Chain A
Amino acid sequence: QVHLVESGGGVVQPGRSLRLSCAASGFTFSTYTMHWVRQAPGKRLEWVAILSYDGSNKNYADSVKGRFTISRDNSKNTLYLQMNSLRSEDTAVYYCARGGFGDSMYPGGYWGQGTLVTVSS
């Protein structure tokens, strides 16, 4: 069955960097759009970034644009989120989620368990 496992979270100082990974299994990873979504403690879900199945198209929330980079390695069935210039407001649980097949639009039918990122001095 579909399985998404995030890793790479932890405590980091403001201004530093962190890279999250999302290992996918149970489906043909290279044919699906993937997303990162985050949730600050006690807050709503906030979409972060999208990457098309072949890596050709990506988009970011305004709150992370210019600081975060989404990428994927289809040979390793892994999605990444490189987070630079981290701020305290980036503190959240980060989820990867599977989107649509190919270019189709579909909501998050499958999510990982999340990885906690805490930005604090």
Chain B
Amino acid sequence: EIVLTQSPGTLSLSPGERATLSCRASQSVNSTYLAWYQQKPGQAPRLLIYGASSRATAIPDRFSGRGSGTDFTLTISRLEPEDFAVYYCQQYGSSLWTFGQGTKVEIK
């Protein structure tokens, strides 16, 4: 089973700043099957990125993803107030899904 490790655990930033979130896999992941989600308290996860770099429907272009092999990154170019949340990476390239432990982006 592929283990996904996200860093940092918490990112303290101000609105307007750039956020860079990391997701490292225990073994190589086909980038076609790497996704990122945003989750706010009391809400279901929201798909942001799939295929490592493709934005899901209606996701603003300030969200971007990149990476390959074992190292993937989610970047939020300029944080908006509504972007403060928990972010999860996920691999979905087999008959099971695995998630990272999450990175919380909080207001500094």
- A residues near B, CB below 8 A? 35, 37, 44-47, 50, 57, 59, 61, 95, 99, 105-109, 111-114
Contacts and interface: CB of A to CB of B under 8 A. Distances in A.
B92 interface: yes
A111 B45 contact: yes
B92 A44 contact: no
Contacts of A59: 95-96
A61 B96 CA distance: 8
23 contacts: A44-B102, A45-B37, A45-B88, A47-B96, A47-B98, A47-B99, A50-B96, A59-B96, A99-B92, A105-B32, A105-B33, A105-B92, A105-B94, A106-B50, A106-B92, A107-B90, A108-B35, A109-B50, A111-B44, A111-B45, A112-B44, A113-B44, A114-B44
Given A107-B50, A108-B45, A44 B96 contact: no
Between A44, A45, A46, A57, the greatest number of chain B beta carbons within 10 A of the residue's beta carbon is seen for A45
B44 A46 contact: no
Given A45-B45, A95-B44, A114-B44, A57 B97 contact: no
A43 to B, nearest CB: 9
Given A44-B100, A45-B88, A47-B99, A105 B93 contact: yes
B47 interface: yes
Nearest to B6: A44
Contacts of B33: 105
Q: How large is the interface on B (under 10, 10 to 19, 20 to 34, 35 or more residues)?
A: 20 to 34
A8 B45 CA distance: 20
Contacts of B46: 111
A50 B100 CA distance: 18
Interface centre among A46, A108, A111, A114 (most CB of B within 10 A): A108
Nearest to A35: B97
Given A111-B44, A114-B44, A44 B50 contact: no
Given A44-B88, A44-B101, A45-B88, A109 B96 contact: no
A61 B100 CA distance: 15
B56 interface: yes
Most buried by B among A61, A111, A113: A111
